[in-house]
Amino acid sequence: MSNPLLKQYDAAPFADIKNEHFLPAITQLIEQAKNEINTIVENNEAPGFTNTVEALAYSGNQLNRASSIFFNLNGAETNEEIQKIAQEVSPMLSNFQNDLLLNEALFKRVKTVYDQRNQLDLNPEELTLLEKQYKSFARNGANLSETDKKKLRSIDAELAQLTLKFGENVLAETNAFEMLITDESDLAGLPEGTIEAAAQAAREKDKEGWLFTLQYPSYIPFMKYAENRELRKKLSLAFGSRAFHNNEYNNTTNVLAIAKLRHQRALLLGYESHAHFVLEERMAETPAKVQSFLNELLEKAKPAAQREFDELGAFAREMDGIDELQKWDGAYYAEKLKQQRFDLDDEKLKPYFKLENVIQGVFKVAEKLFGLQFDKVDHIDTYHEEVQTFEVKDAEGKLVTLFYADFHPRPGKRGGAWMTSYKPQQIKDGVNHRPHVSIVCNFTKPTSSKPSLLTFNEVTTLFHEFGHALHGMLANTVYPNLSGTSVYWDFVELPSQIMENWCYEKETLELFATHYKTGEVIPMELVEKIKESATFHEGMQTLRQISFGLLDMAWHGQDPSAIDDVKDFENDAFKSTRLYPETESTCMSTSFSHIFQGGYSAGYYSYKWAEVLDADAFEYFKQEGIFNKKVAFKFKQHVLSQGGTEDPMDLYVRFRGKKPNPDALLKRAGLLN
């Protein structure tokens, strides 16, 4: 069988790849990567930077590319067959990783070079690579006894399968729920576009009426606008109880098993907890620092959040006689209050945010800041007809990157939005290999009468993911494992979160926010209202993010072996941040994919951590002008292009001239008196 994944290719050969190619390709590429490692180990020359550390950094390139294609498909276009392959492939890759990190002869060579590092005259990137390599061995069991190495392998293989299963269950539960409305009066309050999309969703399933699901573009407008409180409750409880039902998709045992195995793994490696292990390689450094960071924010945000919540409760009581505000009331009454206070709602804004225009807008911002040109092309293979492809060039017309964009929900796509890569950037043999970067989102779909019109929240999401994409696109490092977004996890959100700031600026909005029917530029008064309303309910929003960070730290910052009830444990973790009454049938942890499937375990705090950086960094842009070329060049030179080549705080200070000031975030959020 001719397997496209085993050939040399530049762009991912999606058109030629079939599901049956993955298992044999990954099996063979693991062997190929093992041979590359053996060549390093069996080298008779004395261990040196080039023949050991550099050789290791460039090894396994084709395996990494094939597995990234596979796991990206498992996230964006999965099916039962792919999920089954994932259950086979994950432990294989986990074992390979263990073989690599527990390879004594390889570690010995790396350690020899590491011990001589002060005599080697290495540049900062080479030194970082060497230190990271040495630490990755030491932090992943290279110094363990044979018995403990076996235990570690077994834990890692089990974790690989459990985290996959966790994600599959959340997707299955999200797809399984449907709320079919057949009585038109139950649609009261819903925007015309939402009703039209629900009718289209019903037709696609050969049903009469209006179909609502747990996908964000269906779920969020219903929670915001539907007058029928009982139906809001039904949808809210379904969303909040994903993978918490007494069925085959229940994630409670997976959550407990993942948390306990992570803890066992940390103990085995000599750490007090999983969080201690993770945070050693983060800007925050220790669980105590994260806890104090979150508690300090909690102290500032809690009074504001309580005031906002009490005001919202009084508003709902006055408007509809609601005795006690419930979770399914929050978005609805907040939207009503926001409309009353600012005379602003998403339905007024959406006509100005046609998806195609917003895409052109984000490209225009990248052009004004970094001199990038985006040309849409159709000769690049994609995994689905909805995926768009672009060649990105610099001001001199040189190729910077291939960019893929996938915008709408499908049954085979997990929820949320993310950036990913199909080919890393690296400089090898004098050639700068440019990256292939992708963003995947779940935005409002076009209907038969309307194009895809985005909510303002979707606009900021697009800018956010595009910020991650820029971090990948503008990478300019020698080694692939230090390139682009390969940075400390609490630094990775800086490029994404800073980009959101441009969405609130008049100069930016005038570039792309034009009415999809009339072409009229968004009126100034709407721009002012967007800015005014930017801090609306910021106390409650901040409290919500803090609560997720605290839940994450509760799972990962202590010994979880005595926990036997996921819901009770979660209730306890949420105690200091709770505003709404608790609902017994819902559970956050069983669908908290960020920490139980994605890479955010002991790292959810990093969204808030990076907000301190992004608020401080954007203040610099505002001082000099939001499209100031000099500041943009410094941001590109010291942050976007450098990846993980140096300590992130050093890179930040080089860009900003000083360490970040946390007051910038509190000021922007309206939480500073």
CA dihedral 181, 339, 499, 628 (to 10 degrees): 150
What are the structure tokens assigned to 138, written together? Answer: 């030491």
- Alpha helix segments (H runs only) across 519-565: 524-532, 538-556
Q: What share of the chain is helix, strand, coil (3-state, %, to 5)?
A: 60, 5, 30
Q: Out of 347, 465, 493, 505, which one is annotated catalytic?
A: 465
Residue 163: CB atoms within 10 Å:
20
d(Cα 644, Cα 109) in Å, to the nearest integer?
23
Counting every residue written for the chain, the total comes to 673
- Alpha helix segments (H runs only) across 42-60: 55-58
Q: Please say if 168 is a catalytic residue.
A: no
d(Cα 369, Cα 302) in Å, to the nearest integer?
37
d(Cα 100, Cα 224) in Å, to the nearest integer?
50
What are the structure tokens assigned to 661, written together? Answer: 């000031």
| CB distance 298 to 543 below 8 Å | yes
Q: Which amino acid is at 49?
A: F
DSSP lists the bridge partners of residue 641 as: none
| CB distance 440 to 417 below 8 Å | yes
d(Cα 200, Cα 5) in Å, to the nearest integer?
38
Residue 448: CB atoms within 10 Å:
8
Unique residue bearing structure tokens 């009126």: 523
| CB distance 218 to 119 below 8 Å | no
The candidate with the shortest Cα–Cα distance to 480, out of 300, 644, 354, 292, is 644
Unique residue bearing structure tokens 């509760």: 554
The candidate with the shortest Cα–Cα distance to 160, out of 242, 251, 262, 233, is 262
| Residue 54 to residues 60, 115, 271, 481, Cα–Cα distance (Å) | 12, 16, 29, 11
| Cα Rg of the chain (Å, integer) | 25
Unique residue bearing structure tokens 């956010």: 464
Q: Which residues of 230-268 are buried (b: 16+ CB within 10 A; e: fewer)?
A: ebbebbbebbbbbbbbeeebbbbebbbbbbbbbbbbbbb
Catalytically active residues are 465
